[in-house]
Every structure is written in structure tokens, then in C-alpha cells.
């Protein structure tokens, strides 16, 4: 594995641990794809630092469990103003 890939995987993991960001948010911050973030933290990171990989895994599992709540909130906010505008 290339050294820059190792460093990127560790930086991504540190970011997720510090911010509890989702894969999508992390990909945006680093300017890379969601697939790259996922591969770095799920496949590469365990070979580099098992303890850090476990922390990231727990955070991502929590995010996955809560995603239906975030989606519902986003939809609620999206349509919050439309009921006033449409006269409902």
C-alpha cells in the first residue's frame, strides 16, 4: 500500500472520530468519493491501526442507525415553508 494512501486513511479516520461525520460529509471535506472513504476506513484502516478502525466502525454504525432520522428531518425542513406558500 502506498504511503500517501495510509496517511489519507489515518487522516480520514481521525476526522470521523473527532467530528462523527458521515461517510458523505467526510467525502465532501476531503474532496474524494464516498467509495474511497468507505474503502479506506473499512479495508485499509484495519491493517494500519485496528483500534482506530474499531472506533470509526462504531461511529459509522451509529450514523447508519440514525440515517432515517436525518432523512426525515431534511424532508421536514424542505417542506416546512411550502404549506404556508400553498395555502394548506
**Residue 78 is assigned to a structural domain of this protein:** yes
Q: What is the DSSP string of 25-56?
A: HHHHHHTS-HHHHHHIIIIIHHHH-HHHHHHH
* Residue 88 belongs to some domain of the structure: no
Higher pLDDT, 85 or 12: 12
Q: Does any domain span residue 75? A: yes
Is 8 contained in some domain?
Answer: yes
Q: How far apart, in whole angstroms, are the C-alpha atoms of residue 44 and residue 42?
A: 6
In this model, does residue 8 exceed pLDDT 90? yes
Residue 30 located in a structural domain: yes
Does residue 53 belong to any structural domain of this protein? Answer: yes
In the chain, DSSP finds a helix count (H) and a strand count (E) of 6, 0
Tell me the residue range of the domain where 46 lies.
3-83
Cβ within 8 Å of residue 60, ≥6 positions away: 16, 22, 23, 41
Residue 57 inside a domain? The answer is yes
Give the model's pLDDT for residue 67: 83
Query: Residues 11-68: pLDDT tens digits?
Result: 999 999 999 999 999 999 999 999 999 999 999 999 999 999 999 999 999 999 988 8
| Overall domain count for the chain | 1
Amino acid at each position: 500500500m502506498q504511503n500517501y494512501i495510509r496517511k489519507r486513511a489515518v487522516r480520514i479516520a481521525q476526522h470521523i472520530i473527532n467530528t462523527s461525520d458521515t461517510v458523505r460529509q467526510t467525502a465532501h471535506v476531503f474532496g474524494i468519493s464516498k467509495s474511497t472513504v468507505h474503502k479506506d476506513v473499512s479495508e485499509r484502516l484495519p491493517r494500519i491501526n485496528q483500534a482506530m478502525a474499531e472506533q470509526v466502525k462504531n461511529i459509522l454504525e451509529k450514523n447508519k442507525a440514525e440515517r432515517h432520522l436525518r432523512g426525515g428531518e431534511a424532508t421536514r425542513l424542505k417542506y416546512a415553508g411550502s404549506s404556508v406558500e400553498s395555502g394548506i
